[in-house]
Amino acid sequence: MSTASAVMFLLGRLPKTHPNWGEPCLILTKRSVKVKQPGDLCCPGGSLAPRLDMYLAKLFGLPLLPLARWPYWSNWLRHKPKEARMLALFFATAARESFEEMRLNPFGLKILGFLPAQSLVMFDRIIYPLVVWTNRQQRFYPNWEVEKVICIPLRDLLNPENYVRYRLQVNDQSNAGNDALPTNDFPCFRHKYRNENELLWGATYRITTIFLDYIFDFTPPAMRTLAVVNGSLDENYLTGKR
């Protein structure tokens, strides 16, 4: 059975240090070398802790707190109570994990909706994304799981010129000494800002493009038309450096 995770598709405003400060952006974390998938850009969140998260879900459903503030929450409770409990559990999980990873304030979040679940290719895991907005918080404090927090302007995500084809080479001990290492191509978004040059790909890329399609009717260019960017993964990608 696949492991379930819940993540925040976190929207906010660019900080004052950015030339276009105040514009809407997508806020992601870059995974540290101490965890699986090091270097990847990800939505903050993580695995369910059902017992703890059920208590947190009840807390967030109290008056004036995020679930109760969501305009559709009362309708979900009335007409689909089972699904409402699952949504509350996913929000509680994503909020708890996001607080641990980057000190995201869960009480200042505004729930906007939910996106379709995504399955990871290399791990037996299903991700449930929640679209949320943080209006005031612009400073975050990453823990050991996170190398840094990255803000990507929505205007950049809507620019077709920022999309590339990620040609990924897999290096592991099973093919050591083999000149013809296996490669795969993936659609990818390239984020460039000052000293940042990051690639967004995989499940987080899919979640992002679904959001862009739903909200802006935007579809990235066909992968066959994109410039190629080469990359590689080693055995630490599956385990992290402990």
pLDDT at 177 over 70: no
What pLDDT is attached to residue 1? 47
Band (pLDDT 50/70/90 cuts) for residue 174 is low
Q: Which of 60, 64, 155, 68 is nearest to 98 (CA)?
A: 60
What pLDDT is attached to residue 181? 61
Give the mean model confidence (pLDDT) for residues 39-57.
Answer: 95
Tell me the whole-structure pTM to 2 decimals: 0.92
What pLDDT is attached to residue 178? 52
Overall fold of domain 3-237: Nucleoside Triphosphate Pyrophosphohydrolase (3.90.79)
Distance between CA atoms of residues 200 and 16, nearest Å: 24
- Domains of the chain, by residue range, sit at 3-237
Average pLDDT of the chain is 91
pLDDT at 156 over 80: yes
